[in-house]
Structure 1
Amino acid sequence: MTQLVFHHNHQLLPPAKEGLLPVQLYGLSGQGRGDISFIGNPVIDKVRRLGVRIPSQVMDFLTIALAVTAADTFVRRSDSEDGWTRQFAMQLPLHEPYRWVPLKKELERVLHFLSGDMWDFEFLDGGHPPPVPYRRSDRFQLVRLRGLDSVCLFSGGLDSAIGTIDLLSRGRAPLLVSHAYKGDKTHQDQIAQALTGLYSRFKVNADPHLHTGETDITMRTRSLNFLAFAAVGACAVQAVSQQEEVDLFVPENGFISLNAPLTPRRVGTLSTRTTHPYFIESIQRIFESAQIPCRIINPYQFMTKGQMVVGCHDRQLLEGVVDSTVSCSHWKRSNQQCGICVPCIIRRAALHAGGISEDVGYAFDTVTDVLNETDRRDDLLALRIAVVQKATRKTGPWIADSGPLPAADFQNFQKVFIDGLDEVKAFLIFEGAL
């Protein structure tokens, strides 16, 4: 088990030792010690630029999410006993711990579902309070909130681009919330510059720094941090708009959201649950229990990526920004989309279904070229197997392998999964890969 001790005051952090990792939240003041890791240094300034004071419970949820991101980043799975499942003991000060102690078990259960790890929180007093907001008279550039009515996750991917275009086309006025990591930010900015309508941007970077050694790259909990940033933005929108509850849009196609294991061996390590319906439903319950006034909505839960492309409310705008969108799960390694990972193939199948051409320069422009690459072809082979098995394998148990699903919508979940496989099948046949 790895113990992680967090505090925003580095003087209150214990020395690092075997099995104990001290982490400073929201600052870099302890750099001189040399044994402290850091996360969230840019966050306080970004929150202050919203120009409103966010509620304490939202600040605490942000603190929890950053602590989870730190653990997920700083502790390598390869060092665990089974090479995957880590055990975390998290000592974390909150501004209002009494609100979160009753939710401790629920949080631990949700995070286990999300990451596959074992989590144990200890919530203490003394957490970082909501920061005092900047004022316009302070000469800081504030995020424009007046006139906004919602929040939308804005990753720079194809789904988030379509989701934003559709919202603006319907006359909604969203605050677009982004993880502003290096590389991602460039693509996000290119898409945003082409948008028309009333919207604003809230760009934040968790900015984790491990004091020594290599970090983990699986990042199964990344969506928790994304939702925490969005909750901060939503509460800022609520303060200005005076809404009782703010819509928080998570634009993700239903096939990827389910992310049912394509083959039996891909259960677990190869099946992420970042926007799985069960995870989203669980976070919504936590929001309600903690009195965080957000309503999480995925408008595309029962649509494939191709159906999103076909149904986009402004096809001309989508065609103009499609080359700026990024779907690849590996693109940061070479600053190029590979074209043959699962997200890339689903993207290409969707654009094929929607009749939209792109010019992004994939590492493998022709899908079949990867068949001779024994260390790169696993995703394509898994999709081919899934497409073939679709005719004989029972869909219900198949999609249930990725996690619990509400019975009332079970048929809709089955349909979007089958439709997604059909979309991939048509593309693979077109490419000569099936």
Structure 2
Amino acid sequence: MKSNFTKASGRNLHVLEKGQRLPRRYRSDAIYATIGSEIKCDQEIFDSYSYEGWKDIHHDLLIVCAAVEYADRRWSRARRKWARHIHVTIPVLELPIWLDANVQQNLHGTLRHLTGDEWQFSFVQNENGETDKPRQRPLFPKQYKEFAIAYSEGLDSLCVSGLHNENDVAVCVRVSKHKQRCRKGERPFDRLPFDVSVKPSAEDSVRSRGFKFAAITAIAAHLSNVSRIIVPESGQGALGPVLLPLQNIYPDYRNHPTFFRRMEQFIQTLLGIGITYEQPRLWYTKGQTIAEFLAKPGVKASQIIDTRSCWQQRANVRIDGKLLQCGVCAACQLRRMSLHAAGIEEPSEAYTVTNLKAEQFADALPKQNNFKVTATLYDYGYMGARHLQQLSDFAAEPDRALRPYVFELAEALGASMGDIQMHLRDMLRRHSEEWATFAAAQGEQSFLKLWTKGGRHG
């Protein structure tokens, strides 16, 4: 397949097999990552995936995911140009499948749409062949499963799983590299089977995470003999990053229907199976999803509070060594407004920045002497508030402003533009109402209220 760039582009990653040494004539302009070193595969977790139906192509797909993540994190983007040209060489067990033109075309197209980069792959034969061994069986003896769902500690995961998994019919796939508290139905896919160590890790956008999560969930679905995958993200998280890209950067399609249609085509050509990614909460706000789950018999507010939305793990979200949620990033603000809309009040110690009613951002910070505020924390908070406010303002835009997004969604969902227009506007209107109510509850003099108006102060 022809490409519009060459290996001399300077972003060349060569993945080496476990124990393989650098070639004598290695490329000076290439980066080398070895399976077992920079790409660390946990054999125990790999074995937990290794049930009847496990194939070498599944192993290959996991290594491809790891290689893509490594390359995505290894090279930073230019200030004035988002797209990078990346070439990756990967050893695979099922070489003829990966050399198929349709597989490569769908792989390139899926990653280009997701990351905004140009990708080229060279596949070589993996000589180890170390996956040929007896498989555990069966995966779910005498159990009926209907769908797979990517699961995390987040609100959407808990609520959507609770809404659709009444009779334990879900195959829950834990999309984390860490072993966390297990909830009902999560095993055997309770951790990601690989970790990528990138030094230096020059790029933090890591759009390829969406590919990794979608691919691993597809593997779990294949092994479990289900064809449906439920994506738990609610409307603001799925559509907001495309409707309003942050600082005019390439839109974030990780939870957008257009990405999942491309992913379905790739999985079809690679694995030969028809899998669908469904988004039952696409036209609902996170607040509506929480409220609907809370209305179920036996559900307690404490279950909902006992989740994590903040993605930050740095020192600026730790107090006395305890990891908290920051309270002001876009994810935390969306969480807080959604819980407010559902009538749930969290304990004050849930966040690093608790008091959103303070007049100055500095007054809302923890008073512990060992807490060090960073400019990053402030910037995340300000930009998060502006994004949620702009998404709220978007609800008042005329139909012609929504039309490009409606067309894209209608094509991906196989629905009429009229129906999509109605659903999208309803979701945006609901978000606008929830955000306005939440912001007003903080008071007219709060720093959050000032942020929503575009003002900044520390």
TM-score range, shorter chain: 0.7 to 0.9
Q: Which residue of 1 aligns with 2:408?
A: 404
Q: Distance in 2 between matches of 1:208 and 1:234?
A: 24
**How far does residue 89 in structure 1 lie from its aligned partner after superposition?**
0.6
Distance 1:404 1:318 in 2: 38
User: Is the Cα contact below 8 Å between 2:106 and 2:265 reproduced in 1?
Assistant: no
Q: CA deviation at 1:331?
A: 4.4
Q: Could you tell me which amino acid in structure 2 is paired with residue 394 of structure 1?
A: P
* Equivalent position of 2:96 in the other structure: 98
User: For residues 85 and 339 of structure 1, what CA distance do their matches in structure 2 show?
Assistant: 32
Contact 2:82 2:249 in 1 (8 A): no
Give the aligned residue type for 2:120: D
Q: Partner of 1:156: helix, strand, or coil?
A: coil
* Distance change >3 Å, CA 383–CA 371, structure 1 → 2: farther
Partner of 1:48: 47
Bigger radius of gyration, 1 or 2?
2
In structure 2, what is the Cα distance between the partners aligned to 1:264 and 1:274? 12
Name the CA distance, whole Å, in 2 between partners of 1:227 and 1:410. Answer: 24
Q: What secondary structure, in the 3-state scheme, does the structure 1 residue paired with 2:20 have?
A: helix
1:338 aligned counterpart, secondary structure: coil
* Structure 1 partner of 2:388: 383
**What CA deviation, in whole Å up to 9, does each residue of 1:9-63 have, x standing for no partner?**
44264476653111123x23xxxxxxxxx21421x43232233241344333322
Superposition CA RMSD, Å: 3.1
Rate the CA distance shift 1:366–1:179 in 2: closer, same or farther, 3 A.
same
Is this contact kept in 2: 1:53–1:133, CA < 8 A? no
Mapping 1:320-339, distance limit 5 Å: 320-333=302-315, 334=317, 335-339=323-327
Distance of aligned partners of 1:358 and 1:399 in 2 relative to their CA distance in 1, 3 Å threshold: farther
In structure 2, the residue matched to 1:344 is 332
1:241 corresponds to: none
- Equivalent positions of 1:180-219 (< 5 A) are 180-182=176-178, 185-186=179-180, 189=181, 192-193=182-183, 195=184, 200-202=187-189, 203-210=191-198, 212-219=199-206
Give yes or no for contact 1:328–1:339 (8 Å, CA) kept in 2. yes
Cα separation, 2, equivalents of 1:55 and 1:8: 18
What residue is the counterpart of 1:418 in the other structure? 429
- The superposition leaves residues 385-420 of structure 1 with CA deviations (integer Å, 9 ceiling, x where unpaired) of 4434533x2366458469932242522234323322
In the alignment, is residue 109 of structure 1 matched against residue 109 of structure 2?
yes
Instruction: Compute the displacement of 1:124 (Å).
Output: 2.9
What TM-score does the superposition give when structure 2 sets the normalisation length? Answer: 0.76
Do 1:90 and 1:120's aligned partners in 2 also have CA atoms closer than 8 Å? yes
Q: Which amino acid aligns with 1:19?
A: D
Q: Against the structure 1 CA distance between its residues 418 and 233, is the aligned structure 2 distance closer, same or farther, given a 3 Å change threshold? A: same
Q: Which residue of 1 aligns with 2:222?
A: 235
**Match of 1:11?**
20
Q: Does 1:161 align with 2:158?
A: yes
Q: Residue 281 of structure 2 is aligned with which of 270, 276, 300? A: 300
Contact 2:16 2:90 in 1 (8 A): yes
SS of residue paired to 1:404: helix
Whole-Å separation in 2 of the counterparts to 1:356 and 1:5: 50
Q: Is the 8 A contact 2:76 2:203 kept in 1?
A: yes
Aligned-pair CA distance for 1:85 = 3.2
CA distance in 2 between partners of 1:230 and 1:414 (Å): 31
Q: Could you say which residue in structure 2 is the equivalent of 1:174?
A: 170
**1-10 or 278-287: which moved more?**
1-10
Deviation at 1:267, TM superposition (A): 2.8
1:268 is displaced (CA, Å) by 1.9
Helix, strand or coil at the partner of 1:251? coil
Superposed, which structure 2 residues align to 1:231-380 within 5 Å? Answer: 231-238=218-225, 245-260=226-241, 266-268=247-249, 271-290=251-270, 291-312=272-293, 314=296, 316-317=298-299, 319-333=301-315, 334=317, 335-359=323-347, 361-369=350-358, 372=361, 375=379, 376-380=381-385
Q: 2:83 aligns with which of 82, 85, 95?
A: 85
- Structure 2 residue ranges without an equivalent (≥5): 1-8, 318-322, 363-377, 444-448, 453-458
The Cα of 1:231 is off from its aligned counterpart by 2.0
Matched-pair contact (CA < 8 Å) for 1:174–1:200: no
Distance in 1 between residues matched to 2:439 and 2:277, nearest whole Å:
34
Output the CA distance in 1 between the equivalents of 2:299 and 2:255. 26
Question: What does the per-residue CA deviation read over 1:295-318, in whole Å, with 9 as the maximum and x for residues that have no partner?
Answer: 322221222111111111636435
2:233–2:255 contact (8 Å) kept in structure 1: yes
Aligned length: 397
Q: How does 1:103-142 map onto structure 2 within 5 Å?
A: 103-126=103-126, 131-132=131-132
Report if the CA contact (8 A) 1:267-1:402 is conserved: no
Q: Relative contact order (alpha carbons < 8 A, sep ≥ 6): 1 or 2 greater? A: 1
Q: In 1, distance between residues paired with 2:438 and 2:154?
A: 20
User: Which sits farther off after the overlay, 396-405 or 360-369?
Assistant: 396-405
Q: Distance in 1 between matches of 2:288 and 2:240?
A: 17
Q: Share of identical aligned residues, percent?
A: 21
Give distance in 2, aligned partners of 1:70 and 1:403.
34
- Tell me whether 1:152 sits opposite 2:149 in the alignment: yes
- Inter-CA distance 369–118: structure 2 relative to 1 (3 Å threshold): farther
* TM-aligned CA deviation for residue 257 of structure 1: 0.5
Unaligned runs of 5+ in 1: 29-37, 137-141, 239-244
Q: Which amino acid aligns with 1:361?
A: A
Relative to structure 1, the CA distance from residue 287 to residue 130 in structure 2 (aligned partners, 3 Å threshold; closer, same or farther) is farther
* 3-state SS in 2 of match to 1:317: coil
Q: Give the letter aligned to residue 320 of structure 1.
A: S
Instruction: Say which SS state the counterpart of residue 421 (structure 1) adopts.
Output: helix
